[in-house]
């Protein structure tokens, strides 16, 4: 296993998302929440014996989509298979939060949907990260 700082960055982004949500900065919180999950994906791929982390320029679909597809191959058990769908949803929402001129996340949407999915998906990815340590 590589000595990666990705889990450390993931934890930092999760804390930032929580702080931003507490300050009602839901678009920024959603963006940080996505990156917290994405950095766990990169950590899983970094240590996988057969899958590599996609880099920018590798494909027209972009490295985020490729890496989500690659981690989907790892998460093939029960409910874990839904993680890739959730990650794609988060990626789309994050892009709208960051770049959409008419898009705003409100408190209700963040609390009822974003936060709930974040916690569940983060827990599943954390389980895989911990399995790699052992």
Q: What pLDDT is stored for residue 35 in this prediction? A: 95
Q: Residue 90 belongs to a domain with what CATH number?
A: 1.20.120
Task: Express each pLDDT in 66-100 by its tens digit.
Answer: 888 888 888 776 667 778 888 998 999 999 999 99
In-domain check, residue 133: no
Q: Please write down the long-range contacts of 22-29, taking CB distance under 8 Å and 24 or more positions apart.
A: 24/107, 26/97, 26/104, 26/105, 26/106, 26/107, 26/109, 26/110, 26/114, 27/97, 27/98, 27/103, 27/104, 27/105, 28/97, 29/105, 29/110, 29/114
The answer to whether residue 16 sits within a structural domain is yes
Please give the residue range of the domain that contains residue 29.
6-122
Percent of the chain surpassing pLDDT 90: 33
pTM for the full model? 0.85
Number of domains observed in the structure of the chain: 1
**What local confidence, expressed as pLDDT, does residue 134 receive?**
58
Domain annotation covers residue 128: no
- pLDDT tens for 1-26 read 555 799 999 999 999 999 999 999 99
Nearest to 9 by CA among 37, 29, 31, 30: 37
Residue 23 lies in a domain: yes
């Amino acid at each position: 296993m590589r000595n990666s700082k990705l889990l450390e960055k993931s934890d930092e982004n999760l804390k930032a998302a929580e702080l931003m949500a507490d300050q009602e900065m839901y678009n920024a919180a959603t963006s940080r929440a996505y990156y917290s999950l994405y950095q766990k994906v990169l950590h899983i791929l970094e240590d996988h014996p057969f899958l590599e982390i996609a880099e920018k320029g590798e494909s027209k679909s972009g490295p985020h989509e490729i890496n989500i597809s690659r981690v989907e191959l790892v998460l093939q058990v029960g409910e874990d298979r839904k993680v890739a769908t959730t990650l794609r949803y988060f990626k789309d929402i994050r892009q709208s939060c960051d770049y959409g001129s008419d898009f705003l996340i409100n408190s209700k949407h963040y609390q009822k949907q974003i936060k709930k999915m974040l916690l569940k998906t983060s827990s599943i990815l954390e389980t895989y990260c911990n399995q790699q340590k052992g």
